[in-house]
């Protein structure tokens, strides 16, 4: 499935946002295989960080001057937040740019395959917890909600996923939704 996912990501045209005034940011969308099932890894942000306090997110953050690319940003942030070494993150492809409505970021998501099990080292200032949800649960068992909103004169659909008391919403939920669409197309690859 990993190679099919790589193919599905490569076959699509990434949507890049041209919204002025947004700060460039990037996240990794970590996926791993455990017990024959694929899982997405999420973080629960601490109450100490400047943005998105207490929210579920993917590891990531703002582009720094030393980052040569947004992929560098995503991998650096993954290392800083959860201790994932860049050489342990196999980049499978990119998803569409995703704006944050409240904090004015333009987030570039990179899907990465990571080893499991892995010895994560959480930056406790930024991250309170990491957890995973299987792709099959997100597709079939999680409670999913939708709503429309306008951002920079464009209409977007917002999503929420709720499972076992965890609520994923905002940009993270839109990234999850994109990922699941790509996942479905990967399943169809022969």
- 23-34/90-94 β-pairing: unpaired
Give CA separation, 70 vs 33, 41, 47, 105, 189, in Å. Answer: 25, 20, 25, 13, 28
pLDDT value at residue 64: 96
Which residues of the chain carry a pLDDT beneath 50? none
Tens-place pLDDT, residues 81-108: 999 999 999 999 999 998 877 778 899 9
Locate all alpha helices (DSSP H) within 45-90, ordered by sequence: 70-82
5-25 pLDDT tens trace: 999 999 998 887 766 678 999
Lookup result for tokens 């022969």: 190
List 113's β-bridge partners, or say none: 31, 90
Which domains does the chain carry?
2-187 (3.90.79.10)
Spatial separation of the C-alpha atoms in residues 149 and 156, rounded to whole Å? 5
């Amino acid at each position: 499935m990993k190679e099919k996912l790589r193919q599905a990501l490569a076959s699509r045209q990434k949507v890049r946002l041209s919204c002025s005034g947004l700060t460039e940011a990037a996240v990794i969308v970590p996926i791993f295989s455990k017990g024959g099932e694929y899982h997405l890894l999420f973080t629960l942000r601490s109450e100490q960080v400047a943005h998105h306090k207490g929210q579920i997110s993917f590891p990531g953050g703002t582009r720094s001057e030393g980052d040569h690319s947004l992929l560098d940003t995503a991998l650096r942030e993954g290392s800083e937040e959860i201790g994932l070494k860049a050489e342990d993150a196999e980049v499978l492809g990119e998803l569409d740019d995703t704006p944050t409505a409240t904090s004015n970021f333009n987030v570039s998501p990179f899907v990465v395959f990571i080893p499991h099990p892995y010895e994560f080292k959480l930056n406790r200032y930024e991250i309170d917890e990491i957890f995973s949800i299987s792709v099959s649960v997100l597709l079939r068992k999680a409670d999913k909600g939708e709503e429309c909103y306008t951002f920079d004169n464009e209409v977007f659909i917002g999503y929420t996923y709720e499972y076992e008391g965890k609520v994923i919403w905002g940009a993270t939920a839109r990234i999850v939704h994109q990922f699941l669409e790509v996942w479905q197309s990967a399943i169809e690859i022969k």
